[in-house]
Amino acid sequence: MVTKVQVLKALKEVYDPEFPISVVDLGLIYGVKIAKDKVSIKMTLTNPGCPMSAIITQMVREKVESMKGVKEAAIDLVFEPQWTPERISNEARKKFGFA
């Protein structure tokens, strides 16, 4: 069975098309739950009106569903709590000079 750590590691390879930062390092992933071969991901976007929302959620779903042991990935797109730049990881802040 896949683990939360493995899912987050895989999602570090999914980048927001508008920023050169992964969805994990941007702080868009709010939660990962695993039940057998189904992974549920609670995530947000940097902006509720993001024109790339369908593309980003599709990339997340496809990345997780490509993992061995995962049959289905369900994406729950939420906007509470609202995303803020403070959610960007320390690693990404240093890499892009935000810290």
Looking at residue 98, what is its pLDDT?
73
CATH number at residue 22: 3.30.300.130
- At a CB cut-off of 8 Å and minimum separation 6, what does 98 contact? 85, 88, 92
91 falls within a domain: no
Percentage, residues of the chain above pLDDT 70: 99
User: Could you give the number of structural domains in the chain?
Assistant: 1
> Taking the CA of residue 91 as centre, how many other CA atoms within 13 Å lie in the half-sphere pointing to its CB?
9
Structural domain containing residue 76: 4-84
90 falls within a domain: no
39 falls within a domain: yes
80 falls within a domain: yes
pLDDT along the chain (99 residues), means of 10: 97 91 96 97 94 95 98 97 93 81
Looking at residue 96, what is its pLDDT?
79
**Pairing, β 29-35 against β 38-43:** antiparallel
Q: How far from chain centre, in Å, is Cα 1?
A: 20
CA distance 27 to 25: 5
89 falls within a domain: no
96 falls within a domain: no
